[in-house]
Amino acid sequence: MIIINKKGLCSNANLNSVMTPQKNTLPKYLQIAHKLKVDIQTGKLVKGERLASERELSKMFNVTRVTLRKAIQRLVSEGFIESKHGSGNYIAESQLSAPHFTPIKTDLHSALPITEKLLILQKKQVKDSIATLLQLPAASEVLWGHRLRFLHGQPIVIEKFYLPTSIFIHQDLTLFDTAYQQHRKTVQQMEQSIEAIPASEYEADLLQVDTGTPLLLERQTAFNQDNLPIEYIKTLYRGDKFKFLMKSNVE
Residues 114, 206 within the same domain: yes
* Among candidate residues 91, 117, 146, the one where a domain is terminated: 91
Q: Write out the H or E segment, with its range, that includes residue 106.
A: none
Residues 86, 150 within the same domain: no
Residues 144, 36 within the same domain: no
**Structural domains in the chain (count):** 2
Lowest-pLDDT choice from 211-220, 224-233, 237-246 = 237-246
In-domain check, residue 197: yes
CATH number of the CATH domain containing 45: 1.10.10.10
Please choose, from the candidates 146, 156, 165, 173, the residue with its C-alpha nearest in 3D space to the C-alpha of residue 237: 156
Question: Does pLDDT of 208 surpass 70?
Answer: yes
Q: Bigger pLDDT: 183 or 53? A: 53
Alpha-carbon distance of 3 to 16, in angstroms, equals 37
**Mean of pLDDT values over 190-197:** 82
Residues 6+ apart with CB under 8 A from 84: 90
Q: Which domain holds residue 117?
A: 108-248
Reported as a pLDDT band with limits 50, 70 and 90, residue 156 is very high
CATH number of the CATH domain containing 172: 3.40.1410.10
Residues 87, 186 within the same domain: no
| Residues 2-52: tens digit of each pLDDT | 545 554 433 333 334 333 334 455 678 888 988 898 888 777 888 889 999
Stated length of the chain? 251
- Burial class of 101 by CB neighbour count within 10 A (0 to 12, 13 to 18, 19+): buried
Residues 130, 177 within the same domain: yes
| Residues 80-139: tens digit of each pLDDT | 888 887 888 999 875 444 343 433 445 555 556 788 898 988 888 988 778 888 888 888
Angle between helices 54-61 and 65-77 (to 10 degrees): 110
In-domain check, residue 162: yes
